[in-house]
């Protein structure tokens, strides 16, 4: 095989097209593609009109050329390939794929509108080391390999967003949606999907075609996998039956697959062909024995990291869920467990496996085991994609052998699409006269009428679902205007009590009327799922243990209506931290409290993964009290020591995490300072808990709480620098003038670029111009700051003088060079700025961060906004402007500046402030958190202060004498200086005094 790849790589040799064609055929025959008798690799297959396909295998047409780089070869070959693919599709009625290659460049095409090929995936062979990647790429197109073990790696490489398989399916589904998006049923399901996710995710949710298509692909895939898990031949099941769950209903397995927002695919032309192709692709995997939540891996491999970050969708790693379940689920056979934000079902998976192990050890029969686990392990989520994934994960956890066993009982998968917080229902009693009352209007969901169901029916989830399904089927199958059919057979078959029948009949008449009005779209799906959360919140139905990872939705990303409700609900429970901390508040704390209120029985326990801020930040002060609401009716929580996961690397969420534990009690017990401190490196986050735990160090310690009020008087004195973004509008470097020269006092400049620029700015051309030198000012950024020393400043075009910013446009237009530069920078800003409608001047002077620097102070102390270490220095340049990467204050004396620099650069200061920093990839967000330490105002009468100032001055002299190569990265220069300082007597003493002063 290596020799064959070496021949393919020899594009510059005299090899013929026929040689390459033969080698590619041989590659397909030799590679592990599991070709069957119907997948013969044919050369020169006739296609009619005396045309011949170079290579044909299964449903793939391959056109081979000697060198695709030459002239019109690629264009002409693509047109030729389009004819072959179109002919084969017409001849067979099946989906065909085209591949164009010269042995090095491989491009996969999908046919659009019956005649046009669109490239959807590409691969370039660069060396023999790419052999395995080429095999995976080609196999993704051919979809011929069987019995692939669905490991995390296999899922990502063969189905993830970077795979050829995904590119093909995504392109086909996108084309289907584009052709059918205006169909009433498609439009309605898209609208319902959008409304639900807006409720779940607030303003972070963007209603885009791309996301709806990706969610459709995910759910369709998960529903097909659900069938494959049970050993069903997914390629032989009609597509409509695959997406409706017909086979599950027939087998007495309910709540796995049902009509939803994403089954529009089988309602449009060519949609069934797509589902058959997708089923064939997924059937390559052996889904019979999966040992992890692979649906989570599938989700994260398809939905891009940027999208998941915006939506706040980061699922808990398996090892952490397993650790939490192991810690809390000690008596699984007698403990009812709920995950109210179950996501893809990670916690459910491990809770189910724990229950099964205990049930089998106790000798329970299979019907006892299945009935017990589905009664004891329950999940809810407001995200429709997550719910579908979690239901399939539930099946994976139960295992094929148990589900297909002939001795099993009817199974109801207890994972529900529901609003665990009950945002809208908080002031509404949905239980009236013994009935569940569903009230909904068109602005919220589907209809304007009450649908009533006797509450006694909800005691049996399977029977309730069957009733709703039966009513929906009967209502939708009758002709509009026809008489309402009798429900006698339904009542008898399901054993509906006589006293409940009139209520159900009235609801059925409403359903029939809604159908006649064309307003019955998937309402049964909505009702069935809403019912269970409502039922769980009733006394007598609550659970023993709540586990999971609630949404960390920040207040600023909630819709205005959600913000109002969040504030009201938080205030009523003593969780609202106040307007000054509004930007730091999120949904997680309220979610825990509300879940315990609604679903946790007295003396029940909970364990939830939260932002680490829950342990020590002032925005969680109310949450940590354990007492929520006034009087005896309020919720009381007895907290137990937490797990502090902040020191694990790398962080597995955008912010550091913790796990909190507690019990619903008669008296509140505030969250203790004691905690289990976890440290260690997580090399492979997909590894199981027994492997991860061996790498971690867990010690008993305590957390340090952050006070709500600032601790140091310097907090109010330091100000952040100006926002000089986009960089190409402000930062410049000088260039040589043209031969005609320049006016006096002017300079030719071009934008100074950086590798750290973000889209769209990094993709735009640099600005050029001739600008008056009065407006070319030194600019310091975080990269020009070293301990006790400033590097040479950069240069920026800034519309200001020593007194302040120039007026716009009058003041700027007084200076032709500046005016021309500002005009082109402003035009660029207006064209490419984000949704924040700031002008360029408002961006520059955001929160007066530019104005506050003018006129420039004679002596300033500056330190870095972010970094692994706090770094401080003096600055005496009266023209220099500081960017947002620095904080600064005017020093009132040189001694005060030296004192502050000695404290800022002391290693102990960084150690003390690090636990107080905001959490990201690492604790790097220094900002003003340093002034939450008790840094006293410099006092000339204090010997320690005076000594620190003297040490600071001496250390500055030492650092200034160090020879710095400014071509090196600033982080390396900082590291070298720190190492030198730490070896000097002055550095050692300053560090000890800092600890004495602050510790």
Chain centre to alpha carbon of residue 506 = 44
CATH of the domain at 60: 3.90.1570.30
**Dihedral sign for Cα atoms in the order 480, 483, 487, 488:** negative
Question: Do 989 and 840 have their domain in common?
Answer: yes
Question: Do 937 and 975 have their domain in common?
Answer: yes
Which pLDDT belongs to residue 443?
39
Question: Do 141 and 153 have their domain in common?
Answer: no
Tell me phi and psi for residue 795, to 5 degrees.
-130, 145
Tell me the C-alpha distance between 324 and 547, whole Å. 8
Which contacts of 202-209 are long-range, i.e. CB under 8 A and separated by 24 or more positions? 202/553, 202/557, 202/558, 202/559, 202/562, 203/557, 203/558, 203/559, 204/310, 204/311, 204/312, 204/553, 204/557, 205/311, 206/310, 209/174, 209/177, 209/178, 209/181
Q: Which of 112, 145, 178 is the last residue of a domain?
A: 145
Tell me the C-alpha distance between 344 and 419, whole Å. 16
CB 281 within 8 A of CB 234: no
633 has pLDDT over 70? no
Tell me the C-alpha distance between 599 and 612, whole Å. 24
CA atoms within a 13 Å half-sphere pointing along the CA-CB vector of 597: 20
Question: Do 47 and 167 have their domain in common?
Answer: no
Tell me the C-alpha distance between 766 and 167, whole Å. 34
CB 887 within 8 A of CB 940: no
Asked if residue 388 is part of any domain, the answer here is no
Which pLDDT belongs to residue 511?
81
Question: Do 170 and 133 have their domain in common?
Answer: no
Mean pLDDT of 537-547: 90
Asked if residue 34 is part of any domain, the answer here is yes
Domain that holds residue 168: 147-288+295-303
Question: Which of 33-47, 183-197, 756-770, 960-974 has the weakest average pLDDT?
Answer: 33-47
Structure tokens that stand for 102 in this block: 């010269």
Asked if residue 337 is part of any domain, the answer here is no
Question: Do 121 and 169 have their domain in common?
Answer: no
Tell me the C-alpha distance between 468 and 474, whole Å. 10
- Token pair 């205007």: residue: 481
DSSP per-residue string spanning 327-344: HH-SSGGG--EEETT-TT
Mean pLDDT of 765-790: 96
Which pLDDT belongs to residue 468?
83
- Token pair 């109010």: residue: 716
Tell me the C-alpha distance between 411 and 587, whole Å. 34
Which pLDDT belongs to residue 445?
38
**Residue 461 or residue 402, greater confidence:** 402
Q: How many residues are recorded in the chain?
A: 999
CB 392 within 8 A of CB 222: yes
Chain centre to alpha carbon of residue 770 = 45
- Taking the CB of residue 819, how many other CB atoms lie within 10 A of it? 18
Question: Do 127 and 196 have their domain in common?
Answer: no
State which H helix or E strand residue 5 sits in.
Answer: helix 2-8
Q: How far apart are the first and last CA of the chain?
A: 66
Asked if residue 683 is part of any domain, the answer here is no
Question: Which of 328-342, 377-391, 418-432, 975-989 has the weakest average pLDDT?
Answer: 418-432
709 has pLDDT over 60? no
Helix (H, G, I), strand (E, B) or coil at 702: strand
- Taking the CB of residue 946, how many other CB atoms lie within 10 A of it? 16
Question: Do 103 and 155 have their domain in common?
Answer: no
774 has pLDDT over 70? yes
Q: 921 exposed, middle or buried (CB, 10 Å; 0-12, 13-18, 19+)?
A: exposed
Structure tokens that stand for 109 in this block: 């095409």
Closest CA relative to residue 172, chosen from 136, 142, 226, 216: 216
Tell me the C-alpha distance between 347 and 324, whole Å. 8
610 forms bridges with which residues in the sheet? 658
Which pLDDT belongs to residue 204?
65
| % of the chain at pLDDT higher than 70 | 91
201 has pLDDT over 80? no
653-708 confidence digits (pLDDT tens): 877 899 999 999 999 999 999 999 999 998 888 788 999 999 999 999 998 776 65
Q: What is the count of structural domains for the chain?
A: 4
Asked if residue 678 is part of any domain, the answer here is no
Structure tokens that stand for 748 in this block: 């030719």
Question: Do 822 and 959 have their domain in common?
Answer: yes
Which range of 454-458, 468-472, 506-510 scores highest in mean pLDDT? It is 506-510
435 has pLDDT over 60? no
Tell me the C-alpha distance between 126 and 199, whole Å. 48
- Token pair 């502090």: residue: 644
* pLDDT-derived band at 887, boundaries 50, 70, 90: very high
Which pLDDT belongs to residue 92?
83
Which pLDDT belongs to residue 429?
40
Question: Do 162 and 17 have their domain in common?
Answer: no
* pLDDT-derived band at 988, boundaries 50, 70, 90: very high
Which pLDDT belongs to residue 197?
78
Closest CA relative to residue 788, chosen from 634, 935, 915, 904: 904
Tell me the C-alpha distance between 119 and 68, whole Å. 14
- Taking the CB of residue 576, how many other CB atoms lie within 10 A of it? 19
Structure tokens that stand for 308 in this block: 């998941």
| Cα dist from 349 to 121, 483, 544, 958, whole Å | 34, 47, 18, 60
| % of the chain at pLDDT higher than 90 | 49
Question: Do 126 and 156 have their domain in common?
Answer: no
Q: Which of 505, 536, 567 is the last residue of a domain?
A: 536
Mean pLDDT of 435-448: 44
Which pLDDT belongs to residue 949?
97
Which pLDDT belongs to residue 442?
40
Question: Which of 305-309, 909-913, 927-931 has the weakest average pLDDT?
Answer: 305-309
Tell me the C-alpha distance between 868 and 848, whole Å. 28
Mean pLDDT of 171-191: 89
Closest CA relative to residue 243, chosen from 214, 211, 278: 278
Q: What is the dihedral of CA 177, 180, 186, 187, to 10 degrees?
A: 100
Asked if residue 125 is part of any domain, the answer here is yes
Closest CA relative to residue 863, chosen from 881, 888, 884, 882: 888
Which pLDDT belongs to residue 432?
44
Asked if residue 662 is part of any domain, the answer here is no
Q: Rg of the chain's alpha carbons, rounded to an integer?
A: 33
Chain centre to alpha carbon of residue 726 = 26
Helix (H, G, I), strand (E, B) or coil at 162: coil
Question: Do 171 and 110 have their domain in common?
Answer: no
Q: Which residues lie below 8 Å from residue 979, measured CB to CB, with a gap of 6+?
A: none
Tell me the C-alpha distance between 295 and 880, whole Å. 54
**Residue 693 or residue 58, greater confidence:** 693
CB 106 within 8 A of CB 122: yes
730-755 confidence digits (pLDDT tens): 999 999 888 888 888 999 999 999 88
Asked if residue 389 is part of any domain, the answer here is no
Closest CA relative to residue 325, chosen from 683, 689, 699: 689
The average confidence (pLDDT) of the chain is 87
Q: Which of 279, 303, 327 is the last residue of a domain?
A: 303
């Amino acid at each position: 095989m290596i020799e064959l790849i070496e021949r393919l790589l020899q594009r510059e040799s005299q090899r013929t097209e026929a040689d390459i064609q033969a080698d590619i055929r041989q590659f397909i025959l030799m590679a592990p593609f599991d070709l069957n008798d119907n997948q013969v690799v044919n050369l020169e297959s006739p296609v009619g009109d005396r045309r011949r396909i170079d290579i044909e295998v299964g449903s793939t047409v391959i056109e081979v050329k000697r060198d695709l780089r030459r002239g019109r070869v690629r264009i002409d070959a693509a047109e030729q390939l389009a004819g072959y693919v179109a002919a084969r599709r017409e001849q067979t009625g099946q989906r065909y794929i085209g591949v164009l290659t010269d042995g090095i460049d491989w491009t996969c095409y999908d046919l659009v509108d019956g005649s046009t090929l669109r490239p959807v995936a590409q691969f370039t062979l660069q060396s023999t080391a790419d052999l395995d990647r080429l095999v995976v790429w080609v196999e993704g197109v051919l979809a011929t390999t069987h019995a692939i073990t669905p490991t995390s790696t296999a899922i990502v490489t063969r189905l993830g967003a970077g795979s050829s398989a995904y590119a093909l399916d995504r392109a086909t589904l996108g084309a289907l949606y584009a052709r059918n998006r205006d169909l009433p049923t498609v439009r309605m399901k898209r609208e319902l999907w959008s409304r639900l996710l807006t409720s779940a995710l607030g303003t972070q949710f963007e209603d885009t075609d791309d996301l709806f298509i990706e969610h459709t692909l995910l759910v369709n895939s998960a529903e097909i996998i659900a069938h494959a898990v049970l050993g069903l031949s997914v390629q032989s099941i009609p597509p409509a039956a695959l997406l409706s769950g017909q086979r599950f209903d027939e087998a007495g397995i309910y709540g796995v697959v049902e009509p939803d927002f994403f089954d529009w695919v089988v309602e449009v032309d060519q949609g069934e062909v797509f589902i058959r192709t997708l089923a064939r692709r997924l059937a390559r995997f052996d889904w019979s024995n999966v040992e992890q939540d692979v649906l989570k891996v599938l989700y994260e491999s398809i939905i891009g990291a940027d999208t998941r970050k915006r939506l706040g969708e980061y699922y808990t790693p398996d090892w952490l869920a397993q650790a939490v379940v192991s810690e809390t689920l000690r008596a699984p056979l007698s403990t009812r467990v709920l995950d109210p934000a179950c996501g893809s079902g990670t916690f459910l998976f491990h809770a189910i496996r724990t229950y099964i192990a205990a049930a089998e050890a106790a000798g329970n029969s299979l019907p006892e085991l299945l009935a017990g686990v589905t009664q004891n392990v329950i999940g809810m989520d407001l995200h429709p994609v997550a719910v579908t994934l979690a239901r399939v994960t539930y099946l994976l956890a139960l295992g094929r052998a148990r589900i297909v066993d002939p001795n099993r009982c009817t199974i109801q998968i207890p994972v529900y699409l529901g609003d665990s917080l009950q945002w809208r229902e908080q002031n509404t009693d949905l239980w009236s006269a013994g009935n569940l009352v569903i009230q909904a209007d068109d602005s919220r969901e589907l209809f304007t009428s009450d649908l009533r169901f006797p509450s006694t029916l909800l005691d049996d989830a399977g029977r309730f679902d069957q009733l709703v399904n039966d009513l929906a089927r009967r209502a939708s199958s009758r002709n509009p205007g026809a008489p309402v059919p009798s429900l006698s057979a339904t009542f008898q078959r399901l054993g509906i009590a006589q006293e409940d029948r009139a209520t159900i009949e009235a609801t059925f008449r409403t359903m029939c009327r809604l159908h006649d009005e064309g307003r019955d779209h998937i309402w049964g799906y909505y009702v069935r799922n809403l019912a269970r959360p409502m039922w769980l919140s009733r006394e007598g139905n609550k659970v023993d243990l709540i586990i999971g990872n609630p949404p960390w939705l920040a207040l600023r990303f909630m819709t205005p209506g959600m913000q109002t409700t969040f504030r009201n609900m938080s205030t009523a429970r003593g969780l609202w931290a106040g307007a000054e901390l509004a930007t730091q508040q999120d949904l997680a704390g309220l979610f825990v409290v509300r879940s315990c209120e609604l679903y946790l029985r007295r003396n029940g326990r909970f364990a939830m993964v939260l932002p680490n801020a829950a342990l020590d930040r002032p925005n969680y002060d109310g949450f940590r009290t354990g007492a929520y609401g006034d009087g005896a009716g309020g919720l009381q929580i007895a907290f137990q020591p937490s797990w502090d996961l902040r020191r694990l690397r790398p962080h597995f969420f955008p912010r550091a995490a913790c796990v909190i534990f507690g019990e619903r009690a008669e008296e509140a017990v505030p969250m203790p300072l004691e905690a289990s401190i976890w440290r260690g490196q997580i090399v492979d986050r997909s590894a199981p808990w027994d492997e991860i735990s061996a790498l971690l160090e867990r010690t008993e310690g305590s957390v340090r709480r952050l006070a709500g009020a600032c601790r140091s008087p310097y907090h109010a004195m330091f100000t952040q620098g100006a926002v000089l973004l986009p960089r190409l509008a402000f930062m410049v470097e000088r260039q040589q003038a043209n031969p005609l020269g320049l006016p006096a006092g002017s300079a030719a400049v071009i934008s100074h670029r950086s590798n750290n620029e973000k889209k769209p700015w990094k993709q735009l051309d640099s600005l050029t111009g001739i600008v008056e030198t009065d407006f070319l000012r030194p600019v310091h950024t975080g990269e020009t700051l070293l301990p006790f020393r400033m590097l040479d400043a950069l240069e920026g075009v800034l519309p200001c003088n020593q007194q302040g910013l120039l007026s716009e446009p009058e003041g700027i237009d007084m200076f032709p060079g500046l005016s021309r530069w500002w005009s082109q920078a402003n035009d660029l800003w207006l064209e490419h700025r984000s949704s924040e409608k700031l002008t360029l001047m408002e961006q520059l002077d955001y929160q007066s961060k530019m104005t506050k620097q003018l006129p420039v102070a004679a002596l300033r102390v500056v330190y870095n906004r972010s970094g692994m270490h706090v770094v401080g220095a003096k600055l005496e340049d009266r023209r220099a402007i500081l960017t947002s990467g620095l904080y600064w204050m005017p020093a009132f004396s040189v001694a005060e500046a030296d004192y502050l620099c000695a404290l800022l650069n002391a290693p102990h200061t960084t150690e003390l402030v690090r636990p107080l920093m905001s959490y990201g990839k690492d604790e790097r967000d220094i900002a003003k958190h340093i002034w939450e330490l008790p840094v006293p105002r410099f006092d000339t009468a204090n010997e320690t202060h005076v000594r620190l100032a003297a040490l600071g001055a001496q250390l500055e002299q030492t650092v200034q004498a160090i020879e710095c190569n400014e071509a090196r990265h600033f982080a390396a220069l900082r590291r070298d200086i720190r190492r030198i300082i730490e070896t000097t007597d002055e550095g050692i003493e300053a560090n000890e005094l800092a600890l004495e002063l602050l510790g």
